[in-house]
Amino acid sequence: MTTLRRHVIPVAAALFALAIGIALGGGPLSYVSADDDVPSSSGGQEPDAVGAVVDPEPEPTEEPDPPAAGFADAFAAASAARLYDKALRGHPTVIVSTPGVDAGLVESMVAQVAAAGGGLTGVYEITEQAVDRAEASLVDSLGSQLMTQLADDRIDPAAPTYERLGQLLGVAVATPIKDGRRADAAAQTVRASLSTAGLLTGPGEARLAPLVLVLLPPHAEQEPEVAAAAVAVHAGLATGLRGNAAGAVLLGDTSSGEAGLLASLRGDAEVSSTVSTVDGGDTVVGQVTAMLALIASLEGTVGAFGASGASGAVPIS
């Protein structure tokens, strides 16, 4: 981690300033000279050569991404391996994808794990049925059956339905042992049961991983009651999973971190105190930040990182 910090500290500030469009003049701190255009008293209209007021050229409805954003992503992609410094070597990662996550993001994070020197035990996908509140009775019934069958103290009898499902997922895919371990009988049982019930897909014979990267769906406008239900489900899954892992990170997109699911999860005290959160998953900068947060979690670091993160842009301590 000392080597990692030596790489991160000199470049992180510049990288994330570029990402939000400040360093190259794309943000609120950009310099405006006296020669720059200012609003006229004609409400945006300009006089022609003889003094008549004419309409200016229409402005485009959408502005292109500032050059800084593209440069930041290119810089992050080129620098990622050096920033990671093979810190995940010997520390396997499992990726857990929630419903709605784009396959391209999964592929990108698989590549980032490899760039960090880590092994990937597998990609597990939580199905739509698992998070559908209309199926809560099925989830609760199966969770109770597995809890009784396993008699495992990692499953809390008093846990709410979706936190218990998260705990079962933790038993199935994760371990607090930092170099990972072979899947035990409990893990195999939970994987088979969740798969048979249509709640989880993924490899049946994978090792258990100490690090869990949870990918959240892209932001979408929802009715308040639907959004609140989604927060409750994902909060339970995240905290339950984290209970049997050495470290866990939630990755959402930029909009989700501003005013969506990820922002709401950051407001949950239990989630924010145990699981790191990263926004910007729709950018290379955000994806690299998620990996740095995963690396930092090996030493117990928990925080909210990214453009909307209260802990700063990137974990550097």
Q: Are strands 211-215 and 93-97 parallel, antiparallel or unpaired?
A: parallel
What average pLDDT does range 142-152 have in this prediction? 96
Give the alpha-carbon dihedral of 151, 153, 157, 158, to 10 degrees: 180
pLDDT digit string, tens, across residues 13-53 = 455 545 544 333 343 333 333 444 434 444 445 444 444 44
| pLDDT computed for residue 70 by the predictor | 85
pLDDT digit string, tens, across residues 248-298 = 999 999 999 999 999 999 999 999 999 999 999 999 999 999 999 999 999
| CA distances (Å), origin 20, targets 24, 67, 69, 96 | 10, 11, 7, 28
Residue 278 DSSP SS3: strand
